[in-house]
Every structure is written in structure tokens, then in C-alpha cells.
Amino acid sequence: MSNVAAPTQPVTPPSHPIILPSSPSSASLLYFAYGGKEIDDALLDRCARLFGENYGIWGTNPTATKGPKVGSRVKMSGARLRKQCVAVPDSTVLVVCYQPTQAHHESDGLELVGHAFATVWDYDNGKVGWVTQLVVRVNARKRYIATSLLQMLKQSSLFCGITALSLVSSHPAACHALSKYTDISISSLDLTFCQCNAKSILAVSPVAYVKDMELRGSLFEDGCTTGAVSCVFTNFYVNHNEPLEALAAYKAGGRWVLGELLEGHEFLIILPVQKPVALPDVFQ
């Protein structure tokens, strides 16, 4: 990562981005961090458009008589995105990734290719940083953008002193990217921390959809026979074809401990975060 510091009060876009290296065949990627109060409606609309074009498509909800059309894209307005991911501005951070573009519809010459919203809150045993939404444009995936977005959270003062880091996602790659934040191998996760703290973290969440999640899987349910280990029931029936393909690859490589992906569910990953080790004076 470049030594260029992220601005404390960025404009849109900030004048001093952090530039992370990308592959030689691709353009430079620019990463910007915003505090919750700095997220304006124009930026939210841009993020909502990225979500709607790249997040996923609706699957079949077996319990609903009415609902979104199966196969249509999952979409969200900027207003709903604010309500869901920026409900507590003082405790929220947004990291975005742009790449230069010549497209006429981007007046600033930058195309949004990824974003990560996160909110922090206190719980019984510490402070959790929860990634509420992580999206990367389909044609920009497999370039470590998700990993870099999450690593950029370390630039936020909100994430100083967190003791836990979490997200829910149907995609194994998102869980893998989160594990890199803590330098814990996705194949050897110790789920004890998640088992011991998940209930108390969800119970006090200021994010409504997180608080309403139902813990599922053998980690939380005695006699669970579904094959799920650590997941939540979200009642969010997104098509799982792509995540299941990725899951099969992780399983084949012996790199998966979170169990099966069930319809209407997402994987739950909660990791302990160690405090940074202070450097000797000679390096300061």
C-alpha cells in the first residue's frame, strides 16, 4: 500500500486517494474512505447503482405468494441504502474503489468498481466492526479489490481498537477476503470465538437487518442436520448458483469450515482482531 495517507475530510472524490498496485495489465485503482457524515446522496446513488448491476439476481422464495420476479436483478435505492448501511453515521465508514475511465456517463472520469460499508458498535466483550455491504463490479473481480477494500478499513479511526470483525455473505470469496484482514487462514478458522460472541453482537446491533438475523447451523443449533455450520437466516432469497460454484472450489481444496449454503441463508463469519503490536522506538 502506498504511504499516501487518506484525507480526514474527503470531498467527492477526495483529492489525495490511496493508490494500491494492480496487475500490469490493468489501470491503477484508487481507494477513498469516507466517514458516515461525509456520504452524500450522489455517492449513495452511485453505490446503489453498483449494487443493482452487480450484486445478484433473485431466486425462488418458497414461502412467499408475492415478491420480486425470479431472475430479475436485486436492486436498492440510494435512500434504502442509507437506511440500511448508514443508519448510524458517526459509527459508519464507506470505502470505495474507482478506476479511470473514458466513459461519457462518468463526468469525473472515474468508474466505481467496488465499495464496502461498515459500522462499529460495542458489545459485551469489546467492539465489533461489521461489514454491512461489500460489492465488486463483475468485470473487475479476481483483482483483490474486495480484499483491498476491507484492508482500507484499517485507515479509519473507527476501526482502531475493534476486537471483532464480521460480515454475512452468500459468497465464500467475501468470507475469504475478511479472513485476510486478520491474517487468519480461511481453511483453519477457529469458530469458537464466533460461537461465543455471535448472540451478544447481534442483540445490540444498531443495524436493523443484522439485529433481526436468526443464527443457524451446528455452531448454534443442537442436532442440526442441514450441513450448515455457521450461517444466519436472512429470508433473502438470492440465486446461489455463482456462490455454490465458488463453494465447491473451496471444498475441493480443503479450505472450507463454514458448512453448507442454504436457501434464504448467508454464511456468518466473526473473527477476533488482535491489537497491533507497538513498534520499538527505533522504528517510530
pLDDT digits (tens, 9 = 90+) for 244-284: 999 999 999 999 999 999 999 999 999 999 865 444 544 33
Q: Tell me, what amino acid is at 227?
A: G
Q: How many CB atoms lie within 10 A of CB 257?
A: 17
Question: Mind listing the pLDDT tens digit for each residue in 71-128?
Answer: 899 999 999 999 999 999 999 999 999 998 876 566 678 999 999 999 999 999 999 9
Could you tell me where the beta strands, DSSP code E, fall in the chain? 18-20, 29-35, 92-100, 110-123, 126-136, 164-169, 214-216, 231-233, 265-272
Q: How high is the pLDDT of residue 281?
A: 45
- Contact between residue 133 and residue 170 where contact means Cβ atoms under 8 Å apart: no
Mean residue pLDDT across the chain:
87
Please name which of 261, 236, 272, 278 lies closest in space to residue 133, comparing C-alpha atoms. Answer: 236
Residue 65's pLDDT is what? Answer: 65
Which sign, positive or negative, has the C-alpha torsion 108, 110, 116, 120?
negative
Confidence of residue 28 (pLDDT cuts 50, 70, 90): confident
Q: And the C-alpha cell for 71?
A: 431472475
**Residue 118 in contact with residue 167, Cβ under 8 Å?**
no
Residue with cell 504511504: 3
Cα–Cα distance for residue pair 213/231, rounded to 1 Å: 10
Mean pLDDT of 221-234: 97
User: For strand 164-169 and strand 126-136, is the pairing parallel, antiparallel, or unpaired?
Assistant: parallel
**Domain residue ranges in the chain:** 18-274
SS3 per-residue string spanning 97-146: EEEECCCCCCCCCEEEEEEEEEEEEEECCEEEEEEEEEEECHHHCCCCHH
Q: Which burial class, exposed, middle or buried, applies to 282 when counting CB atoms under 10 A from its CB (0-12, 13-18, 19+)?
A: exposed
Q: Which pTM does this prediction carry?
A: 0.86
> What does the pLDDT average to over 176-199?
94
CATH of domain 18-274: 3.40.630.30
Which are the contacts of 72, defined by CB distance < 8 A and separation ≥ 6?
Answer: 57, 58
Q: Which of 28, 4, 34 is nearest to 18 (CA)?
A: 4
Percent of the chain with pLDDT over 70: 85
Q: Categorize the per-residue pLDDT at 18 as very low, low, confident or very high, splitting at 50, 70 and 90.
A: low
SS3 79: helix
Number of other residues whose CB lies within 10 A of the CB of residue 279: 8
More confident residue, 198 or 282: 198
Average pLDDT (58-64) is 83
Question: Between β-strands 29-35 and 18-20, what pairing exists: parallel, antiparallel or unpaired?
Answer: antiparallel
**CA atoms of 78 and 101, how far apart (whole Å):** 23
In angstroms, the CA 110 to CA 240 distance is 31
Poorest-confidence range of 90-94, 103-107, 139-143, 163-167?
A: 103-107
Average pLDDT over residues 155-174: 95
Is the separation of the CB atoms in 8 and 37 below 8 Å? no
* pLDDT at residue 62, rounded to an integer: 80
pLDDT at 182 over 70: yes
